[in-house]
């Protein structure tokens, strides 16, 4: 549902917030249900558009989907309808959701054929799919791309294990190749594999289903093919991008916020990256407590030079949180260089922040220098449009800290990634309404 958020900012917030299940994990885990004809039960699934759309696609595909409760579903893929996959409907449905690309690996592994329209999704620069298809071809699949129909076809009489060196540590590419390899004949080794917690979760789930994957958490995965996988249950991790967003929100609005059940050990460098901006955050059990702070000061490097925060494949800093870091730095004391290495054109939303009074120099499509205002002159409310999921959340945080009224349009970009975000912010005392 499209619409806008109207926000009156400058209010201190207070209370507890629970992060939703991880969107990026959900897209992988849901595709994996195709690998078995037995029941797979998944809990902590976020109720967001991208995930719901994938669940609908699975249903249309013939998977029996049972909703047990909020975020709790059982899937059984014992009767698959291949006519749907070749249909016009699927061309439309699949193209609207980038995550649907990860249906290819399981389809190919279990049925020996797979089909996919060119995917859509976020406009954040070129995201190539070569890694996925190169992996499938190395395992023995034949690949065909129909340029008129924008349609990919993969076929394989049998998949055979192989040593695969990935050109890039693509998370979805690694997930796809792992899902194809678990049912291949013999041993597959994937080097330069992505090792994000989401992918570790997928591998652990597949192992519970009977797969034999070792090296989980490293960049070299070894997979001994098996002939059959069985059902399992799986609980998803909380969304680390949300957790980082709420840390940033607390700092920007000088609020006292407790973020519940964060699985702290899975957050990698995220907590310490926010500490580099001078933000106090305390681990208490499985929660993070961000106390109210009047000011926070950006650290410098040991030699006194300006701090740079850049993204990198896991266990580096996730690119999805760079927009949050950038917004939070606008009210810090000190100067920060944000360097977005992995995607181009993700920093263009800084124009909206400059309109709000932020001191930012956009150096090029990948780098921005932020001169913090130290909460001495707050951002001003304004009207803006959300360009993509992550920038949308960053602009939301800016608006909540700004003086006066802000309107954010195109919020379906935010709804695609965040469940009931306005409701959860209201519970903290935010003045936000959906119009």
What is the span of the domain harbouring residue 272? Answer: 4-20+238-434
* Nearest one of 274, 210, 287, 219 to 247, comparing CA atoms: 274
Final residue in a domain of this structure, among 201, 217, 235: 235
Same domain, 318 and 187: no
What is the enclosing helix (H) or strand (E) of 400?
helix 389-401
Q: Contact at 8 Å (CB) between 130 and 164?
A: no
Q: What is the dihedral of CA 188, 193, 199, 201, to 10 degrees?
A: 60
Same domain, 286 and 335: yes
Q: Contact at 8 Å (CB) between 418 and 20?
A: yes
Same domain, 211 and 155: yes
**pLDDT of amino acid 126:** 46
Average pLDDT of the chain is 93
Q: Identify the active-site residue in 50, 72, 83, 122.
A: 122
Q: Contact at 8 Å (CB) between 280 and 359?
A: no
Same domain, 243 and 213: no
Same domain, 77 and 197: yes
**Measured between alpha carbons, how far is 186 from 26 in angstroms, rounded to an integer?**
28
Final residue in a domain of this structure, among 219, 235, 251: 235
One-character DSSP codes across 224-267: E--S----EEEEPPB-HHHHHHHHHHHHHTT-EEEE----GGGS
Write the pLDDT tens digit of every residue in 336-363.
Answer: 999 999 888 789 899 999 999 999 999 9
**In a 3-state reduction of DSSP, which class is residue 278?**
coil
**pLDDT of amino acid 86:** 83
CA 60 to mean position of chain CA atoms: 24
Which one has a higher pLDDT value, 247 or 92?
A: 247
Same domain, 172 and 281: no
Annotated binding site for phosphoenolpyruvate: 23-24
Q: Contact at 8 Å (CB) between 26 and 239?
A: no
**pLDDT of amino acid 120:** 54
* pLDDT for residue 124 is more than 70: no
Can you count the helices (H) and strands (E) in the chain? Answer: 15, 23
**pLDDT of amino acid 145:** 84
Same domain, 74 and 167: yes
Q: What is the CATH number of the domain that holds 49?
A: 3.65.10.10
Kindly state the percentage of the chain with pLDDT values over 90: 82
Same domain, 210 and 248: no
* Sheet of 405-409, strand order: 383-385, 405-409, 4-8, 431-434
Q: What's the number of domains the chain is made of?
A: 2
Same domain, 417 and 336: yes
Same domain, 403 and 281: yes
User: What is the mean pLDDT of the segment spanning 281-308?
Assistant: 96
Helix, strand, coil percent values for the chain (each to nearest 5): 35, 25, 40
Write the pLDDT tens digit of every residue in 24-76.
Answer: 999 999 999 999 999 999 999 999 988 999 999 999 999 999 999 999 999 99
Q: Is 239 a catalytic residue?
A: no
The model carries a pTM of: 0.91
**Measured between alpha carbons, how far is 212 from 179 in angstroms, rounded to an integer?**
11
Final residue in a domain of this structure, among 209, 235, 261: 235
* pLDDT for residue 125 is more than 60: no
Annotated binding site for UDP-N-acetyl-alpha-D-glucosamine: 98, 320, 342
Annotated binding site: 23-24, 98, 320, 342
Write the pLDDT tens digit of every residue in 94-105.
Answer: 777 878 889 999
Q: Contact at 8 Å (CB) between 18 and 46?
A: no
Same domain, 136 and 200: yes
**pLDDT of amino acid 119:** 65
Same domain, 338 and 426: yes
Work out the pLDDT band at 416, boundaries 50, 70, 90: confident
């Amino acid at each position: 549902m499209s619409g806008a958020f109207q926000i009156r900012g400058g209010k201190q917030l207070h209370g507890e917030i629970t992060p939703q299940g991880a969107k990026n994990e959900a897209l992988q885990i849901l595709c994996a249900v195709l690998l078995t004809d037995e029941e797979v039960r998944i809990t902590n699934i976020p109720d967001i558009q991208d995930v719901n759309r994938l669940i609908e696609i699975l249903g249309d595909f013939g998977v029996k989907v049972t909703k047990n409760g909020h975020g709790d579903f059982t899937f059984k893929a014992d009767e698959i309808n291949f006519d749907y996959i070749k249909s016009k409907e699927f061309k439309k449905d699949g193209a609207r959701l980038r995550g649907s690309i990860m249906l290819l690996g399981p389809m190919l592994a279990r049925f020996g054929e797979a089909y996919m329209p060119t995917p859509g999704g976020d406009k954040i620069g070129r995201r190539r799919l070569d890694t996925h298809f190169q992996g499938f071809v190395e395992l023995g699949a034949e690949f065909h791309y129909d340029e008129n129909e924008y349609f990919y076809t993969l076929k394989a009489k049998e998949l055979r294990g192989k040593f695969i060196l990935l050109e890039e540590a693509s998370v979805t590419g690694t997930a796809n190749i792992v899902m194809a390899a678990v049912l291949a004949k013999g041993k597959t080794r994937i080097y330069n594999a992505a090792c994000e917690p989401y992918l570790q979760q997928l591998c652990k789930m597949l192992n519970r289903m009977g797969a034999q994957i070792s090296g989980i958490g490293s960049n070299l995965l070894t997979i001994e093919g098996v002939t059959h996988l069985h059902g399992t249950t799986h609980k998803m991790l909380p969304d680390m991008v949300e957790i980082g967003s709420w840390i940033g929100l607390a700092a920007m609005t000088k609020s006292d916020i407790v973020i519940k059940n964060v699985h702290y050990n899975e957050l990698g460098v995220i907590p310490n990256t926010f500490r580099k901006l001078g933000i106090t955050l305390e681990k208490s059990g499985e929660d993070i407590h961000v106390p109210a702070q009047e000011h926070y000061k950006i650290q410098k490097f040991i030699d006194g030079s300006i701090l740079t925060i850049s993204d990198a494949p896991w266990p580096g800093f996730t690119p999805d949180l760079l927009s949050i870091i950038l917004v939070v730095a606008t009210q810090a004391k000190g100067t920060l260089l944000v360097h977005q290495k992995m995607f181009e054109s993700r920093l263009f939303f800084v124009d909206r922040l400059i309109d709000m009074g932020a001191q930012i120099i956009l150096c090029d499509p990948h780098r921005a220098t932020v001169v913090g205002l130290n909460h001495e002159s707050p951002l001003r409310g304004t009207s803006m449009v959300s360009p993509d999921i992550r920038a949308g959340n960053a602009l939301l945080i800016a608006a909540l800290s700004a003086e006066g009224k802000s309107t954010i349009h195109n919020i379906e970009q935010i709804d695609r990634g965040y469940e009931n975000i306005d409701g959860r912010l209201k519970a903290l005392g935010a003045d936000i309404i959906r119009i």
